[in-house]
Amino acid sequence: MRKIFFTGTLFTVLYAVSMCNKPSDYYSAPFLNNAETAKPGRVDSLTILPGRNRALLRFIVSPDRRVTKVRISYSSSLSADVKTSFVDITDQDYGSRKEVAIDNLPEATLIANIVSFAKNGDSSTVAQVSGTIYGDRYRASLYNRVYQNITTVSGVKYMNFINESAKPQDSTVFYPLQKTVVTYPKASGGTNTFEISAFTNSVPVPDIAATGTITLYSLFKPVQSSIDIFESGTLSVNF
């Protein structure tokens, strides 16, 4: 028994010593050799800034410096056709916000995907976003501020408009109607133009002619992030 015990102990000691001589990555090397390479960093905070038959794609480029370009693919809800383009990434782009313009879009839902690529062809996971693009149908739905009348208060003439009842009580809250542009004839000849917000219902016009024609049109943004302002048709009012 003592001989068997001595032999077993000796074997254990020799094995432990041999393990001490192995390189530090002896156990991890096989795993590391077969491990999946980390994907290139994908873009972050991808959003669509809509406009009139166009859009801006805004995103933050990954700080991963393996990324050398991004592929942008987009389609419309009206068609299965997918358009693709590549955008090179420069040293200044890493970790920074970038914008890419897309033009000639139909008035529909835009679906966009962005994939980052490394120089060796490795790609990131997909970043996707969708948003509404506006056009002539939206513009046709726009209206004008409603002219009410001209009154005189303490000898000063005022041009009055019907209150925008749908507007929020807080003027800092987004409201699609941005402003209305009004032109009126002056008593001395020529015309004068002023702009009013949705929160203004009365404007002094001390130099307005006794009779004539007022023209006005209103400007709208469909959403706060819109890159374009849409103009209603022009309205003419005789007074």
CATH number of residue 232's parent domain = 2.60.40
pLDDT score recorded for residue 172: 87
Determine the average pLDDT of the residues in 197-216.
96
Edge to edge, the sheet with strand 127-132 lists 83-88, 67-76, 109-118, 127-132
| Distance (Å, whole) CA 217 – CA 236 | 9
- The DSSP output letter for 107 is S
Statement to judge: residues 73 and 92 lie in one domain: yes
Same domain for 177 and 221:
yes
Boundary residue ending a domain (133, 152, 168): 133
Nearest to 47 by CA among 105, 117, 98, 103: 98
* Domain finish residue from 109, 133, 157: 133
Rounded-to-integer distance, Cα 80 and Cα 87, Å: 23
Residue 185 domain-assigned (yes or no): yes
What is the per-residue pLDDT for 7?
45
Range of the domain at 11: 2-34
For residue 72, list its beta bridge partners: 85, 114
Least confident of 34-48, 82-96, 172-186, 213-227: 34-48
Which tens digits make up the pLDDT trace of 151-201?
A: 999 999 999 999 998 899 888 899 999 999 999 999 999 999 999 999 999
pLDDT digit string (tens) for 115-137? 999 999 999 999 999 999 999 99
Domain end point (choices 74, 102, 133):
133
Tell me whether residue 54 is in a domain.
yes
- SS3 state of residue 31: helix
Assess if residue 159 is contained within a domain. yes
Evaluate whether residue 116 is within a structural domain.
Answer: yes
81 HSE (CA, 13 A, CB side): 5
How high is the mean pLDDT of the chain?
89
pLDDT at 42 over 80: yes
Same domain, residue pair 125 and 171:
no
- Whether 179 is in a domain gets the answer yes
- In the chain, the number of structural domains is 3
Percent of the chain's residues with pLDDT above 90: 82
pLDDT, one tens digit per residue, over 71-108 is 999 999 999 999 999 999 999 999 999 999 999 999 99
230 falls within a domain: yes
Co-location of 79 and 162 in the same domain: no
- In a domain, residue 39? The reply is no
Same domain, 152 and 128: no
- CATH code, 119: 2.60.40.10
- Please provide the DSSP assignment of 42-97 as one string: PPEEEEEEE-BS-EEEEEE--S-TTEEEEEEEEEETT----EEEEEE--TTTTTSE
Tell me: do 216 and 129 sit in the same domain.
no
In this prediction, residue 21 carries a pLDDT of 54
Instruction: Give the helix ranges, DSSP H, for the chain.
Output: 2-20, 29-34, 136-140
pTM: 0.79
Is residue 236 within 8 A of residue 187, CB to CB? The reply is no
For residues 38 and 192, give the distance between their C-alpha atoms in angstroms, rounded to a whole number.
65
Is 220 within a domain? yes
Lowest mean pLDDT among 10-14, 159-163, 191-195, 204-208: 10-14
